């Protein structure tokens, strides 16, 4: 079963409504802009971060047009210095590769060890665009349903101001 199929199976199992836009592989928001994908809803940018000792991992979900200030995030999360996690850590915790980072990756986080961090401005949005653990499609899902999937996986959720 492909990574996409696993995501769709989980969404269906939880009775979550979603739409899918298939497209060529994209690695940046700019590529998504060029294909017109970002016109269909609020596309999310996703950052996979770690603390200084590599004990805590954070998946930060924010609007595609925002820039995250790591020092501010560190303070809001009560964390030691934050940095981007390696490709090895991304694979180990979420079974994802660079360019595929998505909050839907939590379905691969069996121990629910990754903390999911949402920018508060995403709360209540009806149509968030995230990858289905593969960057050749975008899944459109409401914030509430995305939160439901993460809670069902038992990952901690935090809210920050970005």
- Which residue segment(s) compose the domain that 129 sits in? 3-160
Q: Residue 87: which pLDDT band, with cuts at 50, 70 and 90? A: very high
Single pTM value for the model: 0.96
Q: Give first-to-last CA distance, the chain, whole Å.
A: 36
Q: Is 22 left (phi over 0), alpha (psi -120 to 50) or beta?
A: beta
Confidence class for position 161, pLDDT limits 50, 70, 90: very high
Nearest Cα residue to 101 out of 29, 33, 51: 29
The whole-number average pLDDT for the span 84-93 is 97
Residue 44 to residues 9, 69, 78, 81, 110, Cα–Cα distance (Å): 22, 16, 24, 24, 23
Mean pLDDT over the full length of the chain: 97
Question: Encoding tokens for residue 128?
Answer: 């968030």
Q: Tens digit of pLDDT for each residue in 47-58?
A: 999 999 999 999
**Residue 133: band (very low, low, confident or very high) from pLDDT cuts 50, 70, 90:** very high
pLDDT of residue 159: 98
pLDDT tens digits, one per residue of 136-155: 999 999 999 999 999 999 99
Instruction: Domain count for the chain, please give it.
Output: 1
Contact 104/133 with Cβ under 8 angstroms?
Answer: yes
CATH number at residue 23: 3.90.960.10
């Amino acid at each position: 079963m492909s990574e996409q199929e696993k995501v769709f199976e989980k969404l269906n199992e939880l009775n979550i409504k979603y739409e899918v836009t298939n497209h060529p592989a994209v690695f940046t928001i700019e590529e998504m802009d060029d294909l017109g994908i970002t016109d269909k809803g609020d596309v999310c940018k996703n950052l996979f971060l770690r603390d200084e000792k590599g004990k805590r991992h954070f998946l930060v979900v924010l609007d595609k047009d925002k820039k995250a200030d790591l020092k501010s995030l560190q303070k809001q999360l009560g964390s030691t210095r934050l940095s981007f996690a390696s490709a090895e850590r991304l694979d180990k915790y979420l079974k994802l590769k660079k360019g595929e980072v998505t909050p839907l990756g939590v379905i691969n986080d069996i121990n629910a060890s990754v903390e999911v961090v949402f920018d508060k401005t995403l709360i209540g949005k009806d149509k968030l665009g995230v990858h289905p653990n593969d960057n050749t499609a975008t899944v459109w899902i409401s914030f509430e349903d995305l939160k439901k999937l993460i809670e069902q996986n038992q990952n901690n959720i935090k809210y920050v101001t970005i």
